[in-house]
Structure 1
Amino acid sequence: MDKEKKEESSAIHPAVAPLSYLLGTWKGEGEGGYPTINSFRYGEELHFSHPASGKPVIAYSHKTWKLDSGQPMHSESGYWRPKPHGSLEVVIAQSTGLAEVLKGTYSAEDNVIKLHSQVVANASKVREISRVYEMVNGDLHYVVQMATNLTTLQPHLKAVLKKLP
């Protein structure tokens, strides 16, 4: 382990440590759909980092693109704040103008994160969002569910991502 990586790992805040497996860049493909739109596939990259401030926070960024053309589709960024005893607070701002405040839980033993919206702001149609992230055989799987003014909470996005070296 080189000096830079050793310093980075030793600087991880104790509250972030149970989620440190997320740190880095993840890339893969996903699929989306909803009763009100056509199904689609996309490429995607997630990035999780622990700022050098040493505070109990994980910075998060996410971008997607069309598989056939590489044209950008969606992006979002925010912060994840792990709390003691497996709770988690997340704030996300999307390129569409939608903002989410989510709360949830994580299991350090099972590497499962479950989030549910407390606030969905600046969204004329979206009223509720849930996100589940899970490590399966070294891959990061996630499912996003959404409810709108016309629908109940149901699947919207799912993907499988591999960690880049």
Structure 2
Amino acid sequence: MDAKTNSSAPETSPPVIHPAVAPLSYLLGTWRGQGEGGFPTINSFSYGEELHFSHSPSKPVIGYTQKTWKLSSGEPMHAESGYWRPKPDGTIEVVIAQSNGLVEVQKGTYSAEEKMIHLQSEIVGNASKVKEIRRCFQLVDGNLCYDVQMATNTITLQPHLKASLKKL
């Protein structure tokens, strides 16, 4: 019997990650937790949330899906999906389609060292009232934390959402 047939553990290679995605590879996988929302025109609320970041090694892009639900009943609240395209120079382009029909084209920056991503809307489409959205993600003590700010036709940029998610 040679060493190969006597081996009890199969040989596995680490997952291949596209070089453009490597600085943000810590995002890959599923994150779940809770968040809080509010805005001057709506009542404050709490929600459960799950984010999923996926990647195909042949593409310089991260797939993104998000869903939220009411904590009390589990009833779905909001969902969105899109693609994140990190660039080697520390910039990032993001497109997101939301379940309410709104679409976002965002640009921003990321820091692999600080594990932080800042996004600013370039275009908010199909929204009669929303004029601007900013998102900031950061890995803090192993949790993916984010905050979202929003501006409308009549209200300047205000805090809208914040959450802390744990990797599953």
The 5 Å alignment of 1:55-134 reads 55-134=59-138
The alignment's TM-score, normalised by the length of structure 1, stands at: 0.94
> Which residue of 17, 22, 28 maps to 1:17?
22
CA distance in 2, matches of 1:119, 1:129: 9
What secondary structure, in the 3-state scheme, does the structure 1 residue paired with 2:100 have? coil
2:2 maps to 1:27: no
Structure with the higher fraction of residues in helix conformation? 1
Query: Counterpart of 2:31 in structure 1: which amino acid?
Result: W
Aligned residue pairs, count: 160
- CA displacement 1:52-99 (0-9 Å, x = unmatched): 5x1100000000000000000000000000001110000000000000
Larger radius of gyration: 2
Query: Counterpart of 1:23 in structure 2: which amino acid?
Result: L
The alignment's TM-score, normalised by the length of structure 2, stands at: 0.92
What secondary structure, in the 3-state scheme, does the structure 2 residue paired with 1:19 have? helix
Cα offset for 1:51? 2.2
What secondary structure, in the 3-state scheme, does the structure 1 residue paired with 2:155 have? coil
Q: Pick closer, same or farther for the CA change 1:3–1:159 going to 2, 3 Å.
A: farther
Percent of aligned pairs with the same amino acid: 70
Q: Pick closer, same or farther for the CA change 1:3–1:118 going to 2, 3 Å.
A: farther
CA RMSD of aligned residues (A): 1.3
Runs of 4+ that moved beyond 2 A:
1-4
Gaps of 5+ in 2: 1-8
Cα offset for 1:2? 6.8
